[in-house]
Chains A and B, each alone.
Chain A
Amino acid sequence: MTSNKSTFNRRSFLKASLLSGGGMMLSVSWLSSAKAADKLQELNVPEQWAQLNGYIQITADNKVKLICPNPEFGQNVMTSLPMIVAEELDVDWKAVAVDMGPHDNVKLGPQFTGGSNSVRMYWKPLREAGAAARQMLREAAAQTWSVPVEEVTTKAGVLSHASGKSAKYGEMASKAATLPVPKGMKLKSPKDFSIVRKSKKNVEGQKIVTGKPLFGLDYRAEGMLIAMIQHPPAFGMKLKSFDASQTLKMPGIKEVFSLKLYEDGFEQGGFDTRTFNELLVVVGKTTWEVMNARKKLKVEWEPMGDTKDTMQGRGGKREVTVPGEMESTTAQLEKMAEWAKKPAQQLRKDGDPETAFKNAAQIIERTYNAPFLAHNCMEPMNFFAHVTAEKALVAGPLQAPGWAEPTLSKLLNLPADKIEIQMTRMGGGFGRRAYSQYMYEAALISKHAKAPIKLIYTREDDMTYGIYRPMYTATYRAALDANKNLIGFHVKGGGIPEHAIHANRFPAGAVENYLAEGWEIPSNITIGAFRAPRSNFNAAAEQSFLDEVAEAMGKDPIEFRLDLLKRAKEAPVGKNNEYDADRYAGVLTLVRDKSAWNKPGNEKYHRGVAAYFCHNSYAAHVVDMVTRDGVPYVERVFSAMDCGIVINPDAATNMVQGAVVDGIGNAFYGALTHKNGAAEQSNFHNYRMIRHNEAPKKIEVHFVQNDLDPTGLGEPPFPPVFGAVANALYKTTGKRQYNQPFKTDPGKRI
């Protein structure tokens, strides 16, 4: 590639020290270079933004604009990330404006929204950016006033000196931007925080409630056409031939054509999932016209047969065979049960689990299954693209512009610096928009149609076009000795097309004899990250199983877990245990106390508990269930979280409450099944989503208070909801839940 914005420029300022810091860089192309100084002199107009660095812009009339580097999909980073900058910069939050940044990995860092990483990755760089900018402003004031820099203080965007001199940041901004960028800034102590840890409203709240065009689907451009893809009716099929004559007679229709997403042998990046490679495209003037005309296509489909993908990602270049079979859920379940009996890959082994199970007085063995899940972002996939021979502009909702750009560059045969990616607010993401094939499709369609186009997936396209949460199974076994001590633990997990096992997570490290194994069945049904990938199954299965083991041992489920965690802390078994046993125990004791677990006053509720560690944060829930008209409902939830310092408490609470509701919905209803390769659910009439009347009446969220560096919150609260709901259902109905979605009363629940 001739030029790639995605590759961090090794000559850019401050890169060396920070690149070494765990792959993270300060990600600021500080405008202290000669070129930037020239540029500022050229401008020489006070109204212009004096750009101090990639995240901070201060005008001469003291307006502070902070740039959010990461795409926003409801995790509220457009508010929380700028709060971090503002804290160290020392500005009045009320005077701060926030903009979503352009895609620019040099100036703005990784710009990846996913893995609950935004706050965790940007915490230190954003603080350093704010602190360095503040220091440069102080230095500028010191030089202007001829006083020592140590004597220049700041307060809420104002620089002062004991002599009585004072200036607003804006007055010093242009000068400050020409000064050398300081290194090794001393950052604030958490006790001095005045913005972080104080709830701030969503900076886009007003735009959201007044219906401003924020989302990809709202994007418009002069001369823009609408495009839709007709994809095959089933996984395992491909386009054979088509007759578009009726479609082309419909009003507003410009063109119908087919094109290939990836040419044969194309090296796909790790996130370049493609479901169907040959695209049948209808292009027209308006959405409704294209939607209708597409129905008039006469298409012949044929079996695609086994195909090969060439992947170039982590682990180097490799060929992957995609089976051509048209799969059905019932057959998949049978196949998984068969494979579960076969030898599998050992993922971790501690002690001598074989002997432990041989000598056990009691063995508990349970198998858990879970279906594919559709992401069902409320905004269906869509993307705008305007591609010409010289350059490309693409705009829309995506989580990982930096991952998509190299592939787009190859597909369009354009250098990366000729590609502009604009990130719109996303109507949900949940992992789905980390897979940018809809952006590639839009770009290729625009190139072919020689017009600016917006590709729109209908809800049906969105739900049946793949990239699901994988289908999972796991068999758990616990060995108890004659005194009901847990002496062995075994998990063997499988999935289509990947298993969910995190071998180094709890209870690994807490049991003397431990074995984890995994196996995988290839499939043409495409999968991708879904809110807390893998964990969203494990926390359901493992936490249900532990509940059952605790019961068999005659122990309280919370005390049982705390005993194991004590062992993991005091004498950890094995190596590479991923979790901090103290913090894990911390959320359990917090939720125990806040929910008054085992205390009188909660007799009307059937209570279930679960906890989980994933994505660097810790979560525990107590779910209180009641029965109304014979149907179990979650009435109340107590949640305890440890994600270190909480940047924006009210927004964090909102995120946890949302994850609880989402978890309950997916636990009760989530399922995407197939028959002969065709998805059996296509829209919200047959893919049930949790609704207002099914949400708990109360979700009380508590955070462990500590000064640890913050970790993420988008995913961690989600997985243990499944386990807590399963355990509460057991108390309510007397039946354990082994299969998702939890069918408690098929007559009444869908």
Chain B
Amino acid sequence: MATYNLKVNGKTRRVEVDPATPVLWVLRDHLDLPGTKYGCGIAQCGACKVHLDGVAVPSCQLPVSAVGNQAITTIEGLSATGNHPVQKAWLEHDVAQCGYCQAGQIMSAASLLKSNPKPTDADIDAAMSGNICRCGTYLRIKEAIKSAAKEGTSSSTRK
């Protein structure tokens, strides 16, 4: 067991956990942030994506000991009121079916648009192919990303 002061969604959160504990389970079991989802545990499905200093990474393979000072942003912290351009675009296109994978999809999309505000179809495919959706909402996700790109993303993380 070790103590960590994590920067999560703009706040410092203190946790006492085994250093090997993946950030996914720290968020879900210790910090009451269940928006980040467990899907595979081996970084294959993307349901657990969070931003680490603004870049989307699978949190199921990220030990808490490796986080250090980097800022973690989860779906709960992506925007104050759910009004991030990507979230708005998701609603506009009514993307979700079951909705389970969508937090991870949104985090990947927000990260993409931050580094590449005008992605091509190929850019979107490349950035999003780590996120599985069994309901098959891929077409709407792509359309939503394009809408969000049009609107412009100021920041993918809450300051």
Is A574's CB within 8 Å of the partner chain B? Answer: no
Chain B, Cβ-Cβ closest to A212: B35
B135 touches A662 (CB 8 A): yes
Is A218's CB within 8 Å of the partner chain B? Answer: yes
Chain B interface bracket (under 10, 10 to 19, 20 to 34, 35 or more): 35 or more
Chain A interface bracket (under 10, 10 to 19, 20 to 34, 35 or more): 35 or more
Which of A213, A689, A695 meets B134, CB within 8 Å? A689
B139 touches A208 (CB 8 A): no
A658 touches B97 (CB 8 A): yes
Contacts of A209 in B (CB 8 A): 75, 82, 87, 90-91, 96, 102-103, 106
Is A99's CB within 8 Å of the partner chain B? Answer: no
In the assembled complex, the Cα of A538 lies from the Cα of B156 at a distance in Å of 46
Given contacts A208-B99, A210-B82, A217-B34, contact A661 B94 (CB under 8 A): no
A684 touches B133 (CB 8 A): no
In the assembled complex, the Cα of A378 lies from the Cα of B129 at a distance in Å of 15
Question: Distance in Å from the Cβ of B142 to the closest Cβ of chain A?
Answer: 7
In the assembled complex, the Cα of A429 lies from the Cα of B100 at a distance in Å of 11
Is B66's CB within 8 Å of the partner chain A? Answer: no
In the assembled complex, the Cα of A205 lies from the Cα of B37 at a distance in Å of 17
Contacts of A696 in B (CB 8 A): 139
Q: From residue 405 to 446 of chain A, which have CB atoms closer than 8 A to chain B?
A: 425-430
A287 touches B135 (CB 8 A): no
Is B111's CB within 8 Å of the partner chain A? Answer: no
A206 touches B82 (CB 8 A): yes
Chain A, Cβ-Cβ closest to B34: A218
Contacts of B29 in A (CB 8 A): 226, 286-288
B138 touches A201 (CB 8 A): no
B125 touches A211 (CB 8 A): no
Contacts of A689 in B (CB 8 A): 45, 132, 134
In the assembled complex, the Cα of A76 lies from the Cα of B137 at a distance in Å of 13
The interface residues of chain B, by DSSP majority, are classed as loop
Stretch at the interface among A87-95, A264-272, A599-607, A649-657: A649-657
Given contacts A425-B99, A696-B139, contact A684 B132 (CB under 8 A): yes
Question: Distance in Å from the Cβ of A501 to the closest Cβ of chain B?
Answer: 27
Chain A, Cβ-Cβ closest to B141: A692
A202 touches B94 (CB 8 A): yes
Is A183's CB within 8 Å of the partner chain B? Answer: no
A459 touches B136 (CB 8 A): no
Contacts of B142 in A (CB 8 A): 692
Is A458's CB within 8 Å of the partner chain B? Answer: yes
A286 touches B25 (CB 8 A): yes
In the assembled complex, the Cα of A133 lies from the Cα of B42 at a distance in Å of 52
In the assembled complex, the Cα of A291 lies from the Cα of B41 at a distance in Å of 11
Question: Distance in Å from the Cβ of A748 to the closest Cβ of chain B?
Answer: 15
In the assembled complex, the Cα of A683 lies from the Cα of B44 at a distance in Å of 8
Chain B, Cβ-Cβ closest to A378: B100
Question: Distance in Å from the Cβ of A623 to the closest Cβ of chain B?
Answer: 14
Given contacts A217-B34, A692-B128, contact A657 B136 (CB under 8 A): yes
A660 touches B96 (CB 8 A): no
Chain A, Cβ-Cβ closest to B100: A427
Is A262's CB within 8 Å of the partner chain B? Answer: no
Q: From residue 102 to 126 of chain B, which have CB atoms closer than 8 A to chain A?
A: 102-103, 106, 121, 124-126
B1 touches A658 (CB 8 A): no
Contacts of A685 in B (CB 8 A): 42, 44
A657 touches B96 (CB 8 A): no
Q: From residue 1 to 54 of chain B, which have CB atoms closer than 8 A to chain A?
A: 1, 17-18, 21-22, 25, 28-30, 32-42, 44-45, 47
Q: From residue 74 to 126 of chain A, which have CB atoms closer than 8 A to chain B?
A: 74-76
In the assembled complex, the Cα of A388 lies from the Cα of B98 at a distance in Å of 32
Given contacts A210-B75, A380-B38, A683-B40, contact A76 B18 (CB under 8 A): no
Given contacts A74-B135, A658-B137, A659-B136, contact A379 B44 (CB under 8 A): no
Is B74's CB within 8 Å of the partner chain A? Answer: yes
Question: Distance in Å from the Cβ of B90 to the closest Cβ of chain A?
Answer: 5
Contacts of B40 in A (CB 8 A): 459, 683-684
Is A699's CB within 8 Å of the partner chain B? Answer: yes
Q: From residue 70 to 107 of chain B, which have CB atoms closer than 8 A to chain A?
A: 74-76, 78, 82, 87, 90-91, 94-103, 106
Is A691's CB within 8 Å of the partner chain B? Answer: yes
Question: Distance in Å from the Cβ of B110 to the closest Cβ of chain A?
Answer: 11
Q: For A210, A212, A655, A660, which residue has the most chain B Cβ atoms within 10 angstroms?
A: A210
In the assembled complex, the Cα of A76 lies from the Cα of B95 at a distance in Å of 11
Is A377's CB within 8 Å of the partner chain B? Answer: yes
Is A376's CB within 8 Å of the partner chain B? Answer: yes
Question: Distance in Å from the Cβ of B75 to the closest Cβ of chain A?
Answer: 3
Chain B, Cβ-Cβ closest to A637: B139
Chain B, Cβ-Cβ closest to A463: B40
Which of B1, B82, B136, B140 meets A251, CB within 8 Å? B1
Is B157's CB within 8 Å of the partner chain A? Answer: no
Per-position contact with A for B47-72: 1 when CB-CB < 8 Å, else 0? Answer: 10000000000000000000000000
In the assembled complex, the Cα of A425 lies from the Cα of B99 at a distance in Å of 9
In the assembled complex, the Cα of A73 lies from the Cα of B95 at a distance in Å of 14
Given contacts A217-B34, A288-B18, contact A74 B139 (CB under 8 A): no
Chain B, Cβ-Cβ closest to A651: B94
B98 touches A425 (CB 8 A): yes
B100 touches A693 (CB 8 A): no
Is A14's CB within 8 Å of the partner chain B? Answer: no
Contacts of B39 in A (CB 8 A): 378-380, 459, 684
In the assembled complex, the Cα of A330 lies from the Cα of B138 at a distance in Å of 34
B76 touches A288 (CB 8 A): no
Question: Distance in Å from the Cβ of B104 to the closest Cβ of chain A?
Answer: 9
Q: For B21, B45, B95, B133, which residue has the most chain A Cβ atoms within 10 angstroms?
A: B133
Chain B, Cβ-Cβ closest to A648: B94
Given contacts A218-B34, A693-B129, contact A376 B134 (CB under 8 A): yes
In the assembled complex, the Cα of A428 lies from the Cα of B39 at a distance in Å of 12
Contacts of B25 in A (CB 8 A): 286-288
B139 touches A695 (CB 8 A): yes
Given contacts A205-B90, A287-B25, A657-B139, contact A428 B35 (CB under 8 A): no
Contacts of A655 in B (CB 8 A): 97
Contacts of B103 in A (CB 8 A): 208-209, 211
Q: From residue 176 to 231 of chain A, which have CB atoms closer than 8 A to chain B?
A: 199, 201-202, 204-206, 208-215, 217-218, 220, 226
Contacts of A199 in B (CB 8 A): 94
A661 touches B138 (CB 8 A): yes
In the assembled complex, the Cα of A654 lies from the Cα of B44 at a distance in Å of 25
A210 touches B87 (CB 8 A): yes
Chain B, Cβ-Cβ closest to A698: B139
Given contacts A287-B25, A428-B134, A658-B136, contact A378 B47 (CB under 8 A): yes
Contacts of B98 in A (CB 8 A): 73-74, 377-379, 425-429
Contacts of B121 in A (CB 8 A): 697
Contacts of B99 in A (CB 8 A): 74, 204, 208, 214, 425, 427
Question: Distance in Å from the Cβ of B101 to the closest Cβ of chain A?
Answer: 5
Given contacts A288-B25, A379-B37, A696-B139, contact A211 B76 (CB under 8 A): yes
Q: From residue 257 to 277 of chain A, which have CB atoms closer than 8 A to chain B?
A: none
In the assembled complex, the Cα of A202 lies from the Cα of B34 at a distance in Å of 21
Shortest beta-carbon contacts, A-B, top 4: A211-B35, A427-B100, A661-B136, A74-B98
16 pairs of residues in contact across A and B, judged by CB atoms under 8 Å: A74-B135, A199-B94, A209-B82, A217-B38, A251-B1, A286-B30, A287-B25, A288-B22, A427-B37, A427-B101, A430-B134, A459-B40, A657-B139, A684-B39, A691-B131, A692-B141
Q: A378-B134, A693-B129 are in contact. List 9 more A-B contacts (CB 8 A).
A: A205-B94, A211-B33, A218-B34, A288-B29, A427-B37, A427-B98, A654-B140, A662-B135, A695-B136
